[in-house]
Structure formats: structure tokens, C-alpha cells
Amino acid sequence: MERAEVLKRVIGILTDAQDIRRAAEAGEGVGEGDLPEPTAGVATLLLNEMLPSIRVPADASPQQVAALVAEALGPALHTMVSGFSLAFTSLAMAHDSGRTDISSIGVLQELALEIEAGTYDEGS
């Protein structure tokens, strides 16, 4: 999965989380645990698509297994953490600058457009 796609999926996870929070604050759902959990589904889907399968030889030592897992998962996890960091920073900067003309969803939408335009491509 390309970096831009991962960043957009991270924005989707955060947007879904806001929808869940708004529903909870509005009292939607009958009781505790009745609210939908789309964020878990989106996050699971993202992880399944991003994370590579890992083949481990049957005779591998624990140290070899650890090295194989770290080598395979490192780049994918780095990209995902970068996406959450970018989204957090964008939201924090809007908050800290006192912007009242845009909602957090608006900030995330602007970020998604910037990502689509290639603003955050590696090497840019």
C-alpha cells in the first residue's frame, strides 16, 4: 500500500472515531456497548492490508523470529505512525492557533486534500 493511501486511511480512522464520540455524546444507542465500532473495523482492515505476511522457518530461533518480524513490520508501522503523527500535528496546530473557522473534521478533510495533491509525499 502506498504511503498516501495509508495517510488517507489514518484520516478515515480518526473521522470514524469522531463519529462514534458524537454518537455517544448524543446518547445514541440503547445502552452501554450498543454503539457501533466502525473504527475497529477500519483499523483492522488497514492493518490487514498494510502488514506483510511473514514466513518463518520451522527451525528459526526466537532471535531469528524477532529479527524477521521487525524487518517485515518496521516499514509498515513507521508509515502508519507517521500518518497518525501528521494528523495529530495538523489538528494541534489548528487548535493552538485558535482557529474557530474550521472543525476538526474540516482540518482532516484539508489534510486529505493536501495528501491527495502530493504535499506529503516522501522527498517533497
Task: Specify whether the CB–CB gap between 28 and 43 falls below 8 A.
Answer: no
Q: Over the stretch 77-92, which tens digit does the pLDDT of each residue have?
A: 898 899 999 999 999 9
Asked if the model's pLDDT at residue 47 lies above 70, the reply is: yes
Mean local confidence (pLDDT), 58-73: 94
Three-state SS at 46: helix
Task: Specify whether the CB–CB gap between 3 and 79 falls below 8 A.
Answer: yes
Distance of CA 77 to the CA centre of its chain: 10
Supply the pLDDT for residue 25: 86
Supply the pLDDT for residue 30: 46
pTM for the model stands at 0.73
Distance of CA 45 to the CA centre of its chain: 11
- Beta-carbon contacts of 113 under 8 Å, excluding residues fewer than 6 positions away, are none
Supply the pLDDT for residue 33: 55
Task: Specify whether the CB–CB gap between 53 and 30 falls below 8 A.
Answer: no
